[in-house]
């Protein structure tokens, strides 16, 4: 982790989120420094998904603001915010959401559509990302030709193809068996060891225990922010 004077990879300042009369997040302030591996844990309804959407600039906070790579997101127009998100963030979800008619390489290349990468360079970068996640032998396979664990690896490759500063992973093992779950967690750990900042959303204490830092949510409040030993 870099020193406290360096810009954070991501910072939330007094962020609340309301849905009508319901407050899903309550004045959450947190900082994720470059190079950290953070697990955000909570039960269903704790506000994890709402927090992820705020962290990923996918929803606008009702109060407070998000700072991504040193830039206040509330001060950017939609185009500038989309460009910042495309350059700085990678998203991994519980379902890989792959296009059925595209090969693994083509699916990963879609992660470069909004990052300003020339079309001619996208296949090479996609192949390199698939190699990083151990799928160099599945470049031309379509989703129905891949196992569940392989599909999730393609989703991770798509998230990291532009080498984002921060990867937000939302229950990435939730749809996998124990063996594939362990493999995906090992992969995220290896990506972190290579320098990627990881924020992992989970409800599973055993998964959260793998991260050096754990943030616990309950009813939209951060009730604990501590280091795992």
Is residue 66 in a domain?
yes
Domains contained in the chain, number:
1
pLDDT in tens, 118-173: 999 999 999 999 999 999 999 999 999 999 999 999 999 999 999 999 999 999 98
Residue 160 belongs to what domain range? 10-227
Is residue 105 in a domain?
yes
Does residue 59 contact residue 22 with C-beta atoms inside 8 Å?
no
Is residue 51 in a domain?
yes
CATH number of the domain bearing residue 50: 3.40.50.300
Is residue 77 in a domain?
yes
Confidence tier at 1 by pLDDT (50, 70, 90): very low
pLDDT in tens, 80-120: 999 999 889 999 988 889 999 999 999 999 999 888 899 99
Is residue 4 in a domain?
no
Query: Is residue 2 scored above 50 in pLDDT?
Result: no
Cα–Cα nearest to 66, from 29, 19, 36: 29
Is residue 184 in a domain?
yes
Q: Where on the phi/psi map is residue 47: left (φ > 0), alpha (ψ -120 to 50), or beta? A: left
pLDDT mean over 61-78:
94
Is residue 148 in a domain?
yes
pLDDT computed for residue 43 by the predictor: 92
Is residue 5 in a domain?
no
């Amino acid at each position: 982790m870099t020193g406290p004077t360096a810009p954070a990879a991501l910072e939330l300042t007094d962020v609340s989120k309301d849905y009508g009369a319901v407050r899903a997040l309550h004045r959450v302030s947190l900082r994720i420094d470059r190079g950290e591996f953070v697990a955000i844990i909570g039960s269903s309804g704790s506000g994890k998904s709402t927090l992820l959407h705020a962290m990923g600039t996918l929803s606008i906070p009702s109060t407070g603001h998000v700072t991504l790579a040193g830039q206040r997101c509330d001060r950017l127009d939609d185009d500038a915010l989309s460009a910042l998100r495309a350059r700085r963030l990678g998203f991994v979800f519980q379902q890989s959401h792959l296009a059925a008619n595209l090969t693994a390489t083509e699916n990963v290349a879609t992660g470069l559509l909004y990052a300003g990468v020339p079309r001619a360079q996208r296949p090479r970068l996609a192949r390199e990302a698939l190699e990083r996640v151990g799928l160099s032998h599945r470049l031309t396979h379509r989703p129905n030709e891949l196992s569940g664990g392989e599909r999730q690896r393609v989703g991770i490759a798509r998230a990291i193809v532009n080498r984002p500063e921060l990867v937000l992973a939302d229950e990435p093992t939730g749809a996998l068996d124990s063996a594939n779950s362990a493999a995906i967690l090992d992969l995220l750990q290896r990506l972190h060891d290579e320098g990627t900042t990881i924020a992992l959303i989970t409800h599973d204490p055993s998964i959260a225990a793998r991260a050096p830092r754990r943030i616990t949510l309950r009813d939209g409040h951060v009730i604990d922010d501590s280091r795992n030993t």
